[in-house]
Amino acid sequence: MLRLVTLLALLTAFTASAAEQTKVRMGVVGASADVVFWSGVERGYFAKEGVDLEIVKFDSAARMMAPLGNGELQISAGGVSAGFFNAIARGIDIKIVADKTQTVPGLGTQSLVVRKDLIESGRFKTLADLRGMKVASPAPGSASMTIMTKMLARGGLTNKDVDSVFLAVPQMAAAFTNKALDAAVPLEPGVSQALQTGLVQRVIEDYDVYPEHQIAVIFYSGRFIRDNRAAGVGFLRAYLRSVRDLNMALQDGRLTGPGSDDLIKVLTRFGPSQALEFYRTFRLGFSHPDGKLHLPSLSEDLQIFRDEGLIEGEVTLDRAVDQSLLEEALREAGLYKPTR
């Protein structure tokens, strides 16, 4: 009888625990830094916070805005796009709530790569020589586009001076092989994949032209904030725990530190490559261990989008950002204290 009572108690506790889980669908672009979500699920961080997390891949953050706005997604992680600001201008309730990835001096996520044959022939010598070339970024009005805008400006050019092409990062390497593309600004690991073809050369880094840049963020739907605030705060607590694991595993931005083997194994299952050593070959961007946003660069991106004629209504950064959930999460999680 005691065993039966104990079993019933365990089953009751399990059922209660399962009932407390909030189902959350999240969109990601599949960048290597997205390992924090996959590893957080596998390590039980999100489940411990009452979040049953389902992760869905998209080819750009811009394409997550519609499903985030209509409730198909509750959370997404990716670059801040003109499409996001236009959604805010139309009254769609989406908020930036925390950092995902930042560029800091010496540590970025994107590079301009140019076909080697164009460099060897002398067709490309300086950034000014991009004039008239086919240059790719993942989506119109994306974070990559703001970096490209600054790179072109360094060469005295604007986006009107190049033939802009929009391709998902995995397609860029194939386009270089077919010579359908002259240059691109891919996101890691896309930079490394393009370089591995032997057909392109890295020309300039994102931090060379935009040394402090909020590359990617965590977005919440407004409905999720209103209806499931506790789950939203719990997600951020789990996320910060996973980000801090990632920071411990990085040395000089590369996955070569303590705990990196486990993270790389996760990436071989969910990331763009199944090769273990591939993930040690490039630097990841900086993910703030306290989730803090770099607001000045978000304002600058918004202005670039305006200058390019991509913003279709009135919108301010204040309408786009809600840092209150992160502040609440940090009250319990505490500020990051490095152990090495």
What CATH number corresponds to the domain at position 281?
A: 3.40.190.10
Torsion of CA 115, 121, 125, 129, to 10 degrees: -70
Which is nearest to 217 in space by CA: 46, 71, 78? 78
Which is nearest to 263 in space by CA: 29, 37, 11, 25? 37
99 vs 284: CA distance, rounded Å:
14
User: 183 with 83, same domain?
Assistant: no
Q: Is the dihedral of CA 233, 235, 236, 240 positive or negative?
A: positive
Number of domain units in the chain: 2
At residue 11, the pLDDT reads 41
Q: What is the pLDDT of residues 51-72, one digit of tens each?
A: 999 999 987 777 888 899 898 9
Q: Say which residues have a Cβ less than 8 Å from residue 69's Cβ, sequence separation at least 6.
A: 87, 92, 93, 94, 221
Instruction: Look up residue 314 and give its two tokens.
Output: 């009135």
At residue 135, the pLDDT reads 96
Q: What is the pLDDT of residues 145-158, one digit of tens each?
A: 899 999 999 999 99
Among 152, 181, 209, the domain boundary falls at 209
Q: Does 132 fall in a domain?
A: yes
Provide mean pLDDT across the span 6-24.
56
Provide mean pLDDT across the span 80-100.
94
DSSP codes joined into one string, 111-137: EEEEEHHHHHTTS-SSGGGGTT-EEEE
User: Which of 1-5, 160-164, 222-226, 244-248 is the least confident region?
Assistant: 1-5
At residue 2, the pLDDT reads 37
Which is nearest to 111 in space by CA: 183, 166, 50, 41? 183
User: 146 with 280, same domain?
Assistant: no
Residue 210 has pLDDT above 80, yes or no: yes
322 vs 328: CA distance, rounded Å:
11
User: 143 with 184, same domain?
Assistant: yes
Q: What is the pLDDT of residues 162-179, one digit of tens each?
A: 999 988 777 888 899 889
Q: Does 2 fall in a domain?
A: no
User: 190 with 248, same domain?
Assistant: no
Among 154, 186, 209, the domain boundary falls at 209
Among 186, 209, 232, the domain boundary falls at 209
19 CB burial (10 A radius; 0-12, 13-18, 19+): exposed
Contact between residue 149 and residue 159 where contact means Cβ atoms under 8 Å apart = yes
User: 99 with 125, same domain?
Assistant: no
Residue 272 has pLDDT above 80, yes or no: no
Q: Is the dihedral of CA 210, 214, 216, 221 positive or negative?
A: negative
Q: Does 3 fall in a domain?
A: no
Q: Considering only CA atoms, give the Rg of the chain.
A: 21
User: 118 with 169, same domain?
Assistant: yes
Reported residue count of the chain is 340
Residue 328: CA count within 13 A, CB half-sphere: 14
Q: 95-123 burial, b for 16+ CB within 10 Å, e for fewer?
A: bbbbbbbbbeeebbbbbbbbbeebeeeee
The residue type of 54 is E
Quickly tell me which residue has 């805005």 as its tokens. Answer: 65
Q: Does 162 fall in a domain?
A: yes
Q: How confident is the model at residue 259 (pLDDT cuts 50, 70, 90)?
A: very high
User: 159 with 192, same domain?
Assistant: yes
Q: How confident is the model at residue 8 (pLDDT cuts 50, 70, 90)?
A: very low
Residue 335 has pLDDT above 90, yes or no: yes
Residue 303 has pLDDT above 70, yes or no: yes
At residue 18, the pLDDT reads 47
Q: Is 256 helix (H, G, I), strand (E, B) or coil?
A: coil
Q: Does 11 fall in a domain?
A: no
In percent, the amount of the chain with pLDDT more than 90 equals 70
Per the structure, the complete domain to which residue 264 belongs is given by: 22-103+213-333
User: 93 with 221, same domain?
Assistant: yes
Q: What is the pLDDT of residues 109-138, one digit of tens each?
A: 899 999 999 999 999 999 999 999 999 988
At residue 340, the pLDDT reads 57
Contact between residue 54 and residue 23 where contact means Cβ atoms under 8 Å apart = yes
At residue 7, the pLDDT reads 42
Sheet hosting strand 111-115, strand order edge to edge: 163-166, 134-137, 183-184, 111-115, 200-205
User: 232 with 191, same domain?
Assistant: no
Q: Is 306 helix (H, G, I), strand (E, B) or coil?
A: helix
The DSSP symbol for 275 reads -
Partnered with residue 221 across adjacent β-strands are 94
Residue 5 has pLDDT above 80, yes or no: no
For the chain, give the mean pLDDT: 90
Choice between 337 and 269, residue whose per-residue pLDDT is larger: 269
